[in-house]
């Protein structure tokens, strides 16, 4: 089979490409390299089943070319990270809204089965945890740019539902919860790789706020497996699924675990939010996934715990510093 991955040179996209190639599929990776990197896909450069197209998914002509003859689309292309959204709000909003709109238009024209990458940011600051797929969205004021990523992804999901009902587009949605692992950059607020890099360099690990905010992290290998399970299971069509790990941890605890796992002498440094982020930032204090739905449908559950995640990220970063 042949698949198009938008954002194919990105963190998750490059891991997905590897899995599909291992299956014997042909992969077309479309990426404008604004967030992705050729380094992520260099090992595929001589692969007869891999094609890389450097281009923007907003360009309809490029997208038409990339999607020729494909059996499915994994739409992972997006502007990611709270810090990036705050620093480049208009560009990020256009990418996340119109990028998905363009992909869905092209996919709907030929009824190409499509995976839409969504996010736990969708749920906002809903205090009822863990978060289920039918949980309410509780987000802040539209005057706070910080929430535009959540808003854009919610509209992306609504667009998929509309194209499904009006054009017969087969689709499935995966909502990622803090996917981490090798090849992820610490830029734009990705906390775990930033912590690991600081620890390996012996630099202070900067924790924003008081560190009591908590998250659950999911290894990218597990996340890709979750994507594959729902994409290739027709019972999942037209639905959204949480894809996340196990084991809630506060950000302060995360810093301590990173220091222990890397044998680092780094100290933890607490930084007020107003010094860490531009104006308009608001944090979510707790975000915990309920993955019962995907488990019951496909049997998927995460296999790699937080310490394994840290070890894999550290191994990658050690080769770069």
List own/partner pairs for 28-31 with CB under 8 A and 24 or more apart. Answer: 28/2, 28/3, 28/4, 28/52, 28/53, 28/66, 28/67, 28/70, 29/5, 29/53, 30/4, 30/5, 30/6, 30/55, 30/57, 30/62, 30/63, 30/66, 30/77, 31/6, 31/7, 31/55, 31/77
β-strand partners of 243: 176
CA dihedral 201, 206, 211, 213 (to 10 degrees): -90
Largest CA distance in the chain: 58
Q: Give the C-alpha separation, 40 to 45, whole Å.
A: 10
Q: What is the pTM of this model?
A: 0.96
pLDDT tens for each residue of the chain, 321 residues long: 999 999 999 999 999 999 999 999 999 999 999 989 999 999 998 899 999 999 999 999 999 999 999 999 999 999 887 778 888 889 899 999 999 999 999 999 999 999 999 999 999 999 999 999 999 999 999 988 889 999 999 999 999 999 999 999 999 999 999 999 999 987 666 899 999 999 999 999 999 999 999 999 999 999 999 999 999 999 999 999 999 999 999 999 999 999 999 999 999 999 998 888 877 678 899 999 999 999 999 999 999 999 999 999 999 999 998
Q: Mind listing the domains of the chain with CATH numbers?
A: 2-180+219-244+288-302 (3.40.50.720)
The residues that are catalytic are: 149
Q: Give the C-alpha separation, 160 to 170, whole Å.
A: 9
What is the per-residue burial (b if ≥16 Cβ within 10 Å, else e) of 43-78?
A: ebeeeeebbbbebbbbeeebbeebbeebebbbbbbb
């Amino acid at each position: 089979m042949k698949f198009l991955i938008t954002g194919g040179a990105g963190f998750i996209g490059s891991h997905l490409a590897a899995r599909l190639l291992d299956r014997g599929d042909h992969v077309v990776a479309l990426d404008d390299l604004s967030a992705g990197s050729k380094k992520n896909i260099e090992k595929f450069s001589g692969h007869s089943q891999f094609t890389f197209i450097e281009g923007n998914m907003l360009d309809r002509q490029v997208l038409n070319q990339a999607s020729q003859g494909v059996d499915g689309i994994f739409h992972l292309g997006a502007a990611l990270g709270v810090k990036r959204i705050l620093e480049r709000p208009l560009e990020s909003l256009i990418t996340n809204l119109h990028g998905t709109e363009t992909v869905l238009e092209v996919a709907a024209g030929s009824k190409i089965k499509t995976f839409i990458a969504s996010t736990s940011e969708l749920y906002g600051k809903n205090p009822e945890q863990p978060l289920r797929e039918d949980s309410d969205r509780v987000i802040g004021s539209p005057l706070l740019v910080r929430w535009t990523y959540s808003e854009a992804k919610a509209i992306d999901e609504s667009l998929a539902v509309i194209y499904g009902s009006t054009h017969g587009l087969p689709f499935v949605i995966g909502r990622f919860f803090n996917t981490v692992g090798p090849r992820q950059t610490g830029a734009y607020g990705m906390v775990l790789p930033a912590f690991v890099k600081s620890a390996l360099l012996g630099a202070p690990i900067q924790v924003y706020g008081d560190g009591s905010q908590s998250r659950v992290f999911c290894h990218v290998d597990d996340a890709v497996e979750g994507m594959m399970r729902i994409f290739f299971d027709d019972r999942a069509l037209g639905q959204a699924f949480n894809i996340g790990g196990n084991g809630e941890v506060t950000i302060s605890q995360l810093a301590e675990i990173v220091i222990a796992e890397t044998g680092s002498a780094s100290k933890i440094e607490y930084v007020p939010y107003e010094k860490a982020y531009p104006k308009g930032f608001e944090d979510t204090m707790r975000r915990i996934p309920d993955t019962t739905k995907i488990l019951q449908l496909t049997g998927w559950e995460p296999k790699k715990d937080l310490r394994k995640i840290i070890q894999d990220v550290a191994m990658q970063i050690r080769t770069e510093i």
